[in-house]
């Protein structure tokens, strides 16, 4: 029954996506990469939600909540503020220039080589970090829910490989051969399913604990109150102080400049629809912790009471679903989760195809290529990228926390890119050489900091603690936290340093002519009249949530 409902819902999504996109001209860049610039608010919000809310969030963040509690909700609730900033400030500028990719703005503002470097940095991060992480966490969840290893009589590692390649191949078909509109439409259908299915998990979990949702919440808050404190100390994965430094920078990069995400808003039929889509998505994002944090806390309590067997934090979500969800719902929920996995995977892949086709192939490899040829070679690149990610994904099995790994490694490309876009929009005469230095220095300094200096200082501090006879976990965790600043603080420090470097270069060697943004008239850029009022309301709600859980 579970397999039948799984296949049925998956086929339904595919048919709806096909019917909705069959009239879109996907031989043109706008048609394939931006869905003909025709997306409306609901489709944009649904696609944003599903692109972001996949198993690296659901599995990874619930795994972090299993260990640390509600404080990890910062990754979800603060995203709402970043989406408001994007809607009010960044999106009008993007649509005014009629951009297909974010790096195209950098070509206009600086030069072509800055655009190419940025696209290459995006693509490197996607293939080495993001795509393999999505495939790995998705495979972990599906393998656990359907118990693939027992079903096929193979080891857990072999089951993981099978799931990785199955998801990878199906996701590639969607992204490479369907274009953005197929991705966005399937996202919207799956978003509805994920919201319904995702909210069922904590509901059934709370009922399993206390007989009712209200009683279940009261039991959790009474017996594990430490899991409901949003203020993280120095040893937490998200110390409270990082909310005001690197956390907001990461959120602004992800929701405002990351091609994988912003491509949905770039495809809006006009600015009004794009802003409404971002605001709707931000309201939904505030509810995100119910799906990606609360189940982890429920799983922790059930493991304490001996009703749930969890061998590692990242297995918590899959085991909880298997334990509390009625068997008749498992096939449907697995299909929804499978849709979420495909959504994130094919969204990143579609963005990669866009970046390669528009910013690299057309610009450097075949300047005279017509739009059909650009789309064709973009697709071929996407297929190669997908295969590379499928080979890398299973090797992530050895990591302790997949979500922490994802966020830390993302800093290699997120902060440098955010820096040059920030300078590009806020200054008019900082030259192209400053952008190139900002990109390279940001990446190199972050790699040195996080993968050379941090391990050296932390290992040194822990070795000294061992000599001093300190062995308890809490003391060692504090020593490790104090040995070197948190990676989110490092991001903020490097952001300010790179900004200062670029401004200094701009002062010494300014551009001859001031940059002036041209209006291409691709879409109507009349803003949504309530965008600022609704944006302010969203910010107030986020602050209220933090106040309540402090």
Q: What is the pLDDT of residue 392?
A: 84
Per-residue pLDDT tens for 17-26? 556 555 554 4
Domain at 2-15+26-404+528-548, CATH from 1.20.1730.10, 1.20.120.1200, 3.40.50.300, 3.90.1330.10? 1.20.1730.10
Per-residue pLDDT tens for 71-112? 999 988 999 999 999 999 999 988 888 777 777 888 888 988
Question: Does residue 53 have a pLDDT over 80?
Answer: no
CA distance 278 to 87: 6
- Select the more confidently predicted residue: 59 or 425: 425
Q: What is the pLDDT of residue 176?
A: 56
Q: How confident is the model at residue 221 (pLDDT cuts 50, 70, 90)?
A: very high
Percentage of the residues of the chain whose pLDDT score is greater than 70: 87
CA distance 478 to 456: 16
Question: Does residue 236 have a pLDDT over 60?
Answer: yes
The two tokens of residue 463 are 């070795």
CA distance 180 to 264: 8
Helix 131-146 to helix 156-210 angle (10° resolution) is 70
- Select the more confidently predicted residue: 345 or 508: 508
Helix 131-146 to helix 316-324 angle (10° resolution) is 30
- What is the sign of the dihedral through the CA atoms of 394, 396, 399 and 404? negative
250 contacts 491 by C-beta, under 8 angstroms: yes
511 contacts 435 by C-beta, under 8 angstroms: no
Q: What is the pTM of this model?
A: 0.81
Counted residue by residue, the chain has a size of: 550
The phi and psi torsions of 268 (rounded to 5 degrees) equal -65, 145
Task: Name the residue among 167, 85, 125 with its Cα closest to residue 407.
Answer: 125
Task: Name the residue among 470, 388, 375 with its Cα closest to residue 31.
Answer: 375
End-to-end CA distance of the chain: 44
Tally Cβ neighbours within 10 Å of residue 233.
13
- Select the more confidently predicted residue: 45 or 351: 45
The phi and psi torsions of 524 (rounded to 5 degrees) equal -70, 130
Per-residue pLDDT tens for 519-534? 777 778 889 999 999 9
Strand partners, 39: 268
- Select the more confidently predicted residue: 294 or 156: 294
Per-residue pLDDT tens for 484-507? 999 999 999 999 999 999 999 999
Concatenating the DSSP letter of every residue in 299-334 gives: HHHHHHTTSS--SSGGGHHHHHHHHHS-HHHHHHHH
Average pLDDT over residues 257-275: 83
Percentage of the residues of the chain whose pLDDT score is greater than 90: 30
- Select the more confidently predicted residue: 27 or 215: 215
Three-class DSSP category at 422: helix
Instruction: Give the single-character DSSP code of 448.
Output: H
Question: Does residue 33 have a pLDDT over 50?
Answer: no
Average pLDDT over residues 348-375: 77
Per-residue pLDDT tens for 170-214? 777 665 555 445 555 666 666 677 778 888 899 999 999 998 999
Average pLDDT over residues 294-308: 91
Q: What is the pLDDT of residue 32?
A: 46
Question: Does residue 61 have a pLDDT over 90?
Answer: no
Least confident of 96-100, 273-277, 286-290: 96-100
Least confident of 10-14, 466-470, 540-544: 10-14
* Ramachandran bin of 52, using left for φ above 0, alpha for ψ from -120 to 50, beta for the remaining angles: alpha
Question: Does residue 34 have a pLDDT over 50?
Answer: no
- What is the sign of the dihedral through the CA atoms of 417, 382, 187 and 28? positive
Q: For all residues of the chain together, what is the average pLDDT? A: 82
CA distance 114 to 55: 33
Residue in the structure block whose two tokens are 């404080």: 71
Per-residue pLDDT tens for 400-413? 666 667 777 888 88
Helix or strand holding residue 460 (H, E): helix 454-467
Average pLDDT over residues 261-265: 79
Q: What is the pLDDT of residue 536?
A: 95
- Domain residues of the chain, as ranges? 2-15+26-404+528-548
The phi and psi torsions of 499 (rounded to 5 degrees) equal -60, -45
Selection from 55-59, 101-105, 432-436, 546-550 with the highest mean pLDDT: 432-436
């Amino acid at each position: 029954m579970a397999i039948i409902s799984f296949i049925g819902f998956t086929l339904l999504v595919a048919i709806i996506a096909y019917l909705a996109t069959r009239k879109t001209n996907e031989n043109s860049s706008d048609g394939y990469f931006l869905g003909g610039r025709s997306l409306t608010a609901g489709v944009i919000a649904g696609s944003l939600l599903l692109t972001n809310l996949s198993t690296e969030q659901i599995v990874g963040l619930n795994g972090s909540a299993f260990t640390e509690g509600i404080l990890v909700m910062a990754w979800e609730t603060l995203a709402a503020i970043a989406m408001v900033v994007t809607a009010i400030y960044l999106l009008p500028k993007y649509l005014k220039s009629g951009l297909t990719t974010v790096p195209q703005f950098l070509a206009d503002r600086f030069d072509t080589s800055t655009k190419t470097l940025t696209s290459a940095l995006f693509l490197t991060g996607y293939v080495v970090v993001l795509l393999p992480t999505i495939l790995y966490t998705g495979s972990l969840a599906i393998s656990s829910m359907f118990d693939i290893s027992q079903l096929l009589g193979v080891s857990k590692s072999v089951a993981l490989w099978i799931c990785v390649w199955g998801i990878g191949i199906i996701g590639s078909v969607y992204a490479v051969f369907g274009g953005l509109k197929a991705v966005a439409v399937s996202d919207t259908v799956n978003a509805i399913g994920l919201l319904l299915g995702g909210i069922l998990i904590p509901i059934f979990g709370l009922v399993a604990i206390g007989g009712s949702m209200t009683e279940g919440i009261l039991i959790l808050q009474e017996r594990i109150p430490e899991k409901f404190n949003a203020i993280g100390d120095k040893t937490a994965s998200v110390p409270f102080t990082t909310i005001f430094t690197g956390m907001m920078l990461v959120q602004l990069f992800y929701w405002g400049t990351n091609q994988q995400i912003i491509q949905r808003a770039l495809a809006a039929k006009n600015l009004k629809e794009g802003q409404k889509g971002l605001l709707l998505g931000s309201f939904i994002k505030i509810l995100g912790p119910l799906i990606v944090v609360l189940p982890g806390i429920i799983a922790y309590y059930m493991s304490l009471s001996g009703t749930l067997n969890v061998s590692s934090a990242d297995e918590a979500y899959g085991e909880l679903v298997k334990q509390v969800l009625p068997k008749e719902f498992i096939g449907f929920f697995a299909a929804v989760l499978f849709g979420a996995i495909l959504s994130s995977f094919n969204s990143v892949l579609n963005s990669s195809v866009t970046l390669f086709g528009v910013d690299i192939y057309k610009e450097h490899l075949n300047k005279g290529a017509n739009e059909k040829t650009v789309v064709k070679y973009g697709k071929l690149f996407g297929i190669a990228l997908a295969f590379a990610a499928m080979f890398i994904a299973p090797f992530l099995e050895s990591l302790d926390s997949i979500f922490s790994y994802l966020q830390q490694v993302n800093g290699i490309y997120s902060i440098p890119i955010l820096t040059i876009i920030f300078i590009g929009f806020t200054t008019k005469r900082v030259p192209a050489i400053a952008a190139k230095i900002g990109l390279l220095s940001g990446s190199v300094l972050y790699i040195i900091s996080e993968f050379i200096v941090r391990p050296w200082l932390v290992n040194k501090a822990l070795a000294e603690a061992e000599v001093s006879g300190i062995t308890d976990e809490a003391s060692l965790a504090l020593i490790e936290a104090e040995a070197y600043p948190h990676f989110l603080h490092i991001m903020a420090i490097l952001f300010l340093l790179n900004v200062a470097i670029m401004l200094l270069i701009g002062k010494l060697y300014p551009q001859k002519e001031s940059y002036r943004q041209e209006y291409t008239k691709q879409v109507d850029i009349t803003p949504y009249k309530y965008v600022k009022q609704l944006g302010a309301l969203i910010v107030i709600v986020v602050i209220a949530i933090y106040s309540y859980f402090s």
